[in-house]
Amino acid sequence: MEIRVASLSTRWRACRGPGYAPGLLALANRRFHIVLKAYAGHWGLITGASSGIGAEFARQLAARGMHCVLVARREDRLLSLARELTAAHGTRCEIMPADLSQPHAGRELLAEVARRGIEVELLVNNAGIGMVAAVEKADVERALKLIQINIASLTELTLVAAKQMVGRGHGGIINIGSLVSFQPVGYMGVYAASKAYVLHFSESLWAELRPRGVTVTTLCPGTTRTEFFDHSGVPGWAERNRGQDVQSVVRTGLAAFDAGRQYVVSGWVNYLVSLASRLATRATVAKWSMSLFRGHG
C-alpha cells in the first residue's frame, strides 16, 4: 500500500518521533527506505533534461522509482534518455519537447501534463542558458532569451506547480541556482543576476510553503562538466577549471531536498567561495570576478 504524504522531509521528521535515537546504520537504513517510498510511483518533471544536470536528475530519480516527464527542445535526446531509464529501472517516461524561451511556454507545458493525467509531485527547474561576453560584444537578443528561460519560465512553472501542490498538501520543487547566485560576475552579469533571482525567489517560497507540505530547495552548483560553457561562449572552460561531475552535483541536491533545506552549494570549495563572497565588500567581489573570464569576453 502506498501512502502519500507532504514531502520527504516531512516524512522523515514524522517517522522519528520523540526520543527516536537509533544507531547510525539503522538511521541510514530507515531514511533510505523512507526516501524510496516517497519517490516511488510518483511523477517528477525535469526541464532541460536532454543533457547535463537535467539528464542526471532524471537518472537518479528513476533509480528511486520515480516516473519522469522529460522536457527539452532536443526530442531525439529525450527519446534516447527515456529508453535508457525504462530499460534500467522500469519507470514510465513522458516526452514533452518544449521551447521555454517562448512566453507562456511554462503554463502550456503544465496544461499538457494535466491533459495526460499526470500529477507532478516533484518539479526540477533545470533549463537555463548562459552568456559570457563583454558589453560591446553582448548579444542583446540572447540576453533577453536568457531572462525568459532562466527567470520568466522558471517563475511561471514554479508558481503554477506550487499552487497545485499547496492544494494537495504535498509536493516539492528543486530550482537550479548557481554559485554565482551569491555574487556579481564580470562578463557574465545577466546570467549571474538571473541566478541571484532564482535563489532569492526560491528561498522566499521555501519559507512560505514549508508549513503547507511543499519543500522548495535551490541547488547552487559551481563549475560543472556539462555542455553549458560550450554554449555560453567559453568552450572547454569547465574542463580547464576542475569542474564537478553531474553525478555528485545531483546527489548533493537530492540530499538537501530530502532534508528540507532551502538551498545547498555543491562542493565544499564552492561553499567556502560562496561564504567569502558574502564576507568581502561588494566592490571587492565584483572586481575580483573580472579575473574569471578576462580574455574570454
The range of the structural domain enclosing residue 262 comes to: 8-293
Higher pLDDT, 66 or 278: 66
**160: exposed, middle or buried (C-beta count within 10 Å: 0-12, 13-18, 19+)?**
middle
Catalytic site includes residue 271: no
Residue 143 maps to a domain:
yes
**Has residue 145 got a pLDDT over 90?**
yes
Q: What confidence tens digit (pLDDT) does each residue in 189-215 have?
A: 999 999 999 999 999 999 999 999 999
Residue 163 maps to a domain:
yes
DSSP 8-state code for residue 181: G
Residue 2 maps to a domain:
no
**Has residue 135 got a pLDDT over 70?**
yes
Total number of domains constituting the chain: 1
Helix (H, G, I), strand (E, B) or coil at 289: helix
Over residues 176-200, the mean pLDDT reads: 95
Q: Are 50 and 77 in contact (CB under 8 A)?
A: yes
Percent of the chain scored above 90 by pLDDT? 70
Q: What confidence tens digit (pLDDT) does each residue in 51-60 have?
A: 999 999 999 9
Residue 210 maps to a domain:
yes
pTM, two decimal places:
0.86
Options 39, 191, 197, 263, the catalytic residue: 191
DSSP 8-state code for residue 183: S
Q: What does the alpha-carbon distance between residue 153 and residue 188 come to, in Å, rounded to a whole number?
A: 20
DSSP 8-state code for residue 126: -
Residue 1 maps to a domain:
no
What CATH code is carried by the domain that includes residue 91?
3.40.50.720
**Has residue 67 got a pLDDT over 60?**
yes
Over residues 271-289, the mean pLDDT reads: 88
Q: What does the alpha-carbon distance between residue 181 and residue 128 come to, in Å, rounded to a whole number?
A: 14
Residue 3 maps to a domain:
no
Residue 127 maps to a domain:
yes
Q: For the chain, what percentages of helix, strand and coil (3-state, to nearest 5) are there?
A: 55, 15, 30
**Has residue 87 got a pLDDT over 80?**
yes
Among all chains, which residue has been given the C-alpha cell 510511483? 41
